[in-house]
Amino acid sequence: MNTIIKPKIAIDGMGGDFAPQMPVKGAILAAKRGVAEIYLVGDEEILKNELNKHEVGDLAITIVPSQGIINDNESPALALRQKPKSSILVATNLVKTGAADAIISMGSSGATMAASVVILGTIEGIERPAIGGPIIGSAPNQVILDLGSNIDCKPSNLVGFGVLGSIFSQLLLDIQYPKIALLSVGSEEGKGNNLVKETTKLFHQSGLNFIGNVEGNDLLTGKADVVVCDGFVGNVILKLVEGFGRGFAKQLKETLSNHMNNQDLENLLNEFNKRNNVVDSKGGGPVFGVNGVSIIGHGSSSAETINKAVDIALMCINTKLIEKMNEETPKIMSTITN
């Protein structure tokens, strides 16, 4: 008799551009691997109908009913109040109550973020949680944060991102002593805007492995393991990088169609996508700084991507990411004066 207790993962069944199809398929893929028990959260009828399209047998998938969805175009703060039984809130509450060990959503990032902050709370010492992760194909283990949740930041926010990114890098990417850098306009100390200059002083006080500035081109070589920037800059580069990947793929296809047969071209483009589409190949990333495992994925995620997001969630759970963040962060943040 197998008495091993498997982690329990809540998946927002209604979130994402292709919900409920993709979340349901993703849940099935993960359940079939037997790595977790899945709580699929959403409209009961819709999810049942969707599950019935597949061979689910006795897979460890439990539907948890919810009412309503928060869409991308809604104000997250307002929508959370207006739709208290929406899928993202019900799913996040499962983590709060301890019924689930992690929540995964491919729905509105703003709503997932807001629900995590409101329901799970923040890690002590962290005022503003962030989103982040590896986004560049040639530097797949380089964590960049914030990627868009904090548009105007103060220096202590950026130090917080550095602390959280560093712990993530140690535990999930197995980098023992992660190099932390600020994204700036020159590598020498003193080059940068006022925010970078002020944050540099705080990083020096923090005792973290701070290596100074990196520039835009350094992101491609992974000169630092953790790159910190405000969410304005981070979001601009995230979208630029995504656009570049798509643009080059298109250009490549046009240019090469006269040079090789279709099968070769397709293989090549697949390889290209795999190398450059980090977000998709990783499945998503955690909300950095909230007191629980909350994984945000791309709205356009496929079932396979959601299946991979389950692995990210499992890694966060198994490496005790949140416990470690709770232990380390207040100590480091108390060293800086701001």
Q: In the complex, which residues of this chain contact its own copies (CB under 8 A)?
A: 138, 148, 151-152, 183-185, 192-194, 196, 215-221, 230-233, 235-244, 246-248, 251-252, 255-256, 259-260, 264, 268, 271-272, 275
Cβ proximity to its own copies, 221 vs 318, nearer residue:
221
Find all residues with CB under 8 Å of 73, minimum gap 6, and list them: none
The answer to whether the CB of 108 falls within 8 A of the CB of 74 is yes
Cβ proximity to its own copies, 58 vs 152, nearer residue:
152
Cβ proximity to its own copies, 99 vs 236, nearer residue:
236
Bond before 20 cis per omega within 30 degrees:
yes
| Closest C-alpha among 169, 203, 197 to residue 184 | 197
Cβ proximity to its own copies, 77 vs 256, nearer residue:
256
CA distance 328 to 251: 46
Token pair belonging to 53: 């399209």
Cβ proximity to its own copies, 218 vs 280, nearer residue:
218
The answer to whether the CB of 192 falls within 8 A of the CB of 213 is yes
Q: What minimum distance in Å lies between the beta carbon of 224 and its own copies?
A: 14
Q: What minimum distance in Å lies between the beta carbon of 185 and its own copies?
A: 4
Cβ proximity to its own copies, 38 vs 229, nearer residue:
229
Q: What minimum distance in Å lies between the beta carbon of 249 and its own copies?
A: 10
Using CB atoms within 10 A of its CB, is residue 152 exposed (0-12), middle (13-18) or buried (19+)? exposed
Q: How far is CA 337 from CA 64, 159, 333, in A?
A: 45, 11, 8
Q: What minimum distance in Å lies between the beta carbon of 17 and its own copies?
A: 16
Q: What minimum distance in Å lies between the beta carbon of 61 and its own copies?
A: 35
Q: What minimum distance in Å lies between the beta carbon of 326 and its own copies?
A: 30
The answer to whether the CB of 160 falls within 8 A of the CB of 331 is no
